[in-house]
Amino acid sequence: MAMNEPQQISVQELIAQKSNRGLLAFTEKLIPKILFLIASVSVLTTIGIVFTLIFETVTFFTEVNIFGFLTGTEWYPFANSTPTYGILPLVVGTLKITGIAILVAVPIGIATAIFLSEYASDRVRRFIKPILEVLAGVPTIVYGFFALTFVTPILRSIYPDIAIFNALSPGIVVGIMIIPMIASLSEDAMSSVPNAMRDGAYALGATKLEVAVKIVLPAALSGIVASTVLAISRAIGETMIVAVAAGSTPGFNWDVTGSIQTMTAYIVQVTTGDAGYGTTIYYSIYAVGFTLFLFTLAMNMLAQFISKRFREEY
């Protein structure tokens, strides 16, 4: 059998291969730098937002006493004689909406997650999950008009003394809006529980409900709690639903049947042209926005802490 002759490579081919290797090495060095620049856009944007909020908030507190802002129970920035800037009525309004939303969303969301994880067949799961995704994709302005024109009339037919603009109706609708978040994240946490734990419980004679409540729920607790905290953060930051259906009357009380105003709704009111640039009212939206930012930041940090602290290792 004749030996194969060594392959002949021309000088031009050697030069081309060297050029290709050089281009590949250059590309390998360039790509990480491009990806780093792209990743840094979000970081720089966040830094820019925080510094803008801080700078404008400091400007506001040069004109308004910070202690009165944090402890005041009256919020009348548009008063002609003596404007007052006590943030507590806006905070209370925001907490009303959030509390009602959580009372609605948590039981329904967790029950939905249990059904999808433990009871639903693959066919049913493929049918229900897209519906939840559609519910999560509905614009919040649509939810707002749904609360005002559908939910509020139903509530008024049951309880006639409830005002047209109130906290109960938008709170319920915000709860409906965040159900997909709780259901989806909780279902993911439950689905990650090993089947061996379920099989062991079934082998001991446990029913499907006992497995779901006593085995799966405790094992997935960190994910469920984290999803609830993130949903609370989402409810705190909701804007359009409360701007449309909750009213614009800040009050330091816990009545849910009357008009209220949340922090986000006040920002909407001012930014639609009710205050001139550079006025105290204008700078107040940054102080309110910074307060809202601290609320949502605390909720996100709490969710991360819960996920890391109570995560079960399997």
Which has more pLDDT, 9 or 110? Answer: 110
CATH code, domain carrying 185: 1.10.3720.10
pLDDT digits (tens, 9 = 90+) for 133-185: 888 888 899 999 999 999 999 999 998 889 899 999 999 999 999 999 999 88
How many CB atoms neighbour CB 175 within 10 A? 25
- Domain assignment of residue 25, yes or no: no
* Measured distance CA(80)–CA(223) in Å, rounded: 50
Q: Is position 35 within any domain?
A: no
Determine, yes or no, domain membership for 281: yes
Largest CA distance in the chain: 109
Predicted confidence at residue 14, as pLDDT, reads 52
Residue 206 to residue 214: CA distance in whole angstroms = 10
Q: Would you say residue 169 lies in a domain?
A: yes
- pLDDT band for position 10 (cuts 50, 70, 90): low
Rg (CA), the chain: 28
Task: Please indicate, yes or no, if residue 172 is contained in any of the structural domains.
Answer: yes
What's the pLDDT tens digit per position in 181-199? 999 888 888 888 888 888 8
Q: Distance between CA 265 and CA 31 in Å, rounded?
A: 44
Q: What is the pLDDT of residue 78?
A: 82
The answer to whether residue 10 is domain-embedded is no
pLDDT score at 131: 84
pLDDT digits (tens, 9 = 90+) for 66-90: 888 888 888 888 877 888 888 999 9
pLDDT at 242 over 60: yes
Q: pTM of this prediction?
A: 0.82
- Ramachandran angles phi, psi of 84, nearest 5°: -120, 140
**Domain, as residue range, for 223:** 88-309
Domain count, the chain: 1
Given pLDDT bands bounded at 50, 70 and 90, which one contains residue 308? confident
User: Average pLDDT in the 91-106 region?
Assistant: 94
Q: Is residue 27 part of a domain?
A: no
pLDDT recorded at residue 15: 57
pLDDT in tens, 30-68: 888 888 888 888 888 888 888 888 888 988 888 888 888
In a domain, 33, yes or no: no
Whose CA is closest to 264, among 140, 78, 94? Answer: 94
